[in-house]
Amino acid sequence: MPDEHVLATYDIGSFLPLEQAAEVLAGEQSTGTFVRVPGETDELRWRFGAKVVKVEALPDSGGESLPGALRPPGGPPRPHRGTVRIAFPLANFGPSLSNLLAAVAGNLFELRELAAVKLTGLELPPAFAERYPGPRYGIAGTRELTGVARGPMIGTIVKPGVGLGLDALRVMVRELAESGIDFIKDDELTADPPHAPLRERVAVVTDELNRAADRTGHRPLYAFNITDDPDRLLANHDLVAEGGGRCVMVCAQIVGLGAVAQLRRHAALPIHGHRAMSGALLRSPYVGLGAEAFAVLARLAGVDQLHAGGVRGKFYETDASVRRSVDAIWRPFPVGFPGDYAALPVLSSGQWAGTAHAAYELTGTDDLLVLAGGGIHGHPDGAAG
């Protein structure tokens, strides 16, 4: 079964028995509909129907219910909660990332029988490696490009996130590069604005990085934000590469994982996967995707570096959830894949020198890229501090 199926794990809630709700989910996302139709033969259901592998009730039922959830007369006052595991035949969609998502994360979010549904885990068969080679650079490649053989890589974000002109950017990059920083990235809000167009930004930044390398022997890696509509994404990558840039950044949820995969097949540069819009998919405990499931999908698409949240950060994640995200970003793919598909976990949001020890204690690894935006720019002594 493992080589012929995708195994998806969900946290669900339902006013119906969990087993019944799980069967509805499996049917809706494979051969079934609200009524059995003539073409839905027993043989077809056996070959192509998704199968409920496991149902495990959670002890503390309750919590919120999604709008429109079905509650039968005489049903429980609060939804049952549980974890279900469903096997989807690979034959239903083949090794296609977009069509995989249609199966494991499609109409199921709209089912009335589900008062909550969150995709929390994915196990993929090696057939996906035929189309998706995974990260080109990953941890080792990023270390080589930054020149940091051991220990965490320290980076920052260009701040303020919008409005900074090219002259001010030049000065900022110069100061950061001479401070010995390993990594700099554009803010997700700056891609190709009129006040700092991508082409001109690449020229200014690479000029300063090259000058710094001549003076200090160290050249930070700079991730240029190339997020754009699909018809511009690859052209933006080429613009960066031709201008001497060595890394690109995309807002993975915004451009879509199919676009990220297309970029990976085209790209010569490492891909920094930003988290913008992730809260819409990941934040609610009652609907959407879990960060661990998204990490599997993003790594399959080919991101080399992926945001995991921040330790004691300014956003909503608990430290425990950040730890799970970090693990999911570098955890090896199943046996049969050509390589481990590990990406570099990125810590950001509210990071500064005072969170460094906590980050190591939490994650247990120094294979990290730690980004401190305000934590560096807001230092009383500036970047050199």
What single string gives the DSSP state of each residue in 293-326? HHHHHHHHHT-SEEEEE-TT-SSS--HHHHHHHH
Q: Which tokens in the block code for residue 60? A: 């503390």
Could you tell me the pLDDT band of residue 72, with boundaries at 50, 70 and 90?
Answer: very high
- Asked whether residue 249 falls in the same domain as residue 367, the answer is yes
Under the banding of pLDDT at 50, 70 and 90, the label for residue 99 is very high
Q: Are residues 299 and 231 in the same domain?
A: yes
Residue 178 has pLDDT above 80, yes or no: yes
Which structural domain, as residue segments, surrounds residue 279? Answer: 138-377
Taking the CA of residue 122 as centre, how many other CA atoms within 13 Å lie in the half-sphere pointing to its CB?
30
Rg of the chain, C-alpha, whole Å: 23
| Per-residue pLDDT tens digits for 25-71 | 999 999 876 667 777 778 888 888 999 999 999 987 667 899 999 99
Total domains present in the chain? 2
**Is residue 32 classed as helix, strand or coil in its secondary structure?**
coil
Asked if residue 79 is part of any domain, the answer here is yes
Residues 62 and 185 in one domain: no
* CATH number of the domain enclosing 73: 3.30.70.150
Q: What is the pLDDT of residue 291?
A: 95
123 and 255 share one domain = no
Prediction pTM value: 0.94
**Tokens, residue 48:** 């192509």
> Do 293 and 153 have their domain in common?
yes
The answer to whether 218 and 147 have CB atoms below 8 angstroms apart is: yes
- 217 and 347 housed in the same domain: yes
Summarize the confidence of residues 269-296 as an average pLDDT: 96
* Residue 200 is assigned to a structural domain of this protein: yes
pLDDT of residue 310: 72
Q: Do residues 297 and 258 touch, judged by C-beta distance below 8 A?
A: no
pLDDT at 378 over 60: no
Q: Answer whether 130's CB lies under 8 Å from 9's CB.
A: no
Give the CATH number for residue 336: 3.20.20.110
The pLDDT of residue 115: 97
Give, as one character, the DSSP assignment of residue 333: P
In a domain, 382, yes or no: no
* 24-28, 56-60, 143-147, 371-375: segment of lowest average pLDDT: 371-375
Pair 105, 237 in one domain:
no
Residues 152 and 75 in one domain: no
| 280 and 183 in a common domain | yes
**Residue 194 CA, distance from chain mean position:** 29
Select from 77, 108, 130 the last residue of a domain.
130
Q: Decide: helix, strand or coil at residue 157.
A: strand
Residue 352: per-residue pLDDT:
56
- The total number of residues shown for the chain amounts to 385
Looking at residue 358, its pLDDT comes to 80
Considering only CA atoms, which of 10, 18, 25, 19 is closest in space to residue 112? Answer: 25
Distance between CA atoms of 248 and 271, rounded to whole angstroms? Answer: 5
pLDDT at residue 376 tops 70: no
> Residue 320 has what pLDDT?
86
Whether 180 is in a domain gets the answer: yes
Q: What is the pLDDT of residues 188-227, one digit of tens each?
A: 999 999 999 999 999 999 999 999 999 999 999 999 999 9
Instruction: Determine, yes or no, domain membership for 385.
Output: no
Note whether residue 44 is domain-resident.
Answer: yes
What amino acid is encoded at 312 in this protein? Answer: R
Which of 87, 110, 130 corresponds to the end of one domain?
Answer: 130
Both 124 and 46 in a single domain?
yes
User: What is the pLDDT of the chain when averaged over all its residues?
Assistant: 92
Q: Is residue 290 part of a domain?
A: yes
What HEC string does 194-210 produce?
CCCCHHHHHHHHHHHHH
User: Which residue from 7, 184, 175 is spatially nearest to 87, judged by alpha carbons?
Assistant: 7
265 pLDDT tier (thresholds 50, 70, 90) = very high
Choose one of 130, 161, 180: the last residue of a domain. Answer: 130
Pairing verdict, β 221-225 and 116-123: unpaired
The pLDDT value recorded for residue 76 is: 92
Task: Provide the β-strand partners of residue 156.
Answer: 184
Sheet holding 5-14, edge to edge: 51-57, 80-89, 5-14, 116-123, 287-289
- Give φ, ψ of 288 to 5 degrees: 110, -150
148 and 182 in contact (C-beta within 8 Å)?
A: yes
Structure confidence by residue, pLDDT tens digits, 118-143: 999 999 999 999 999 999 999 999 99
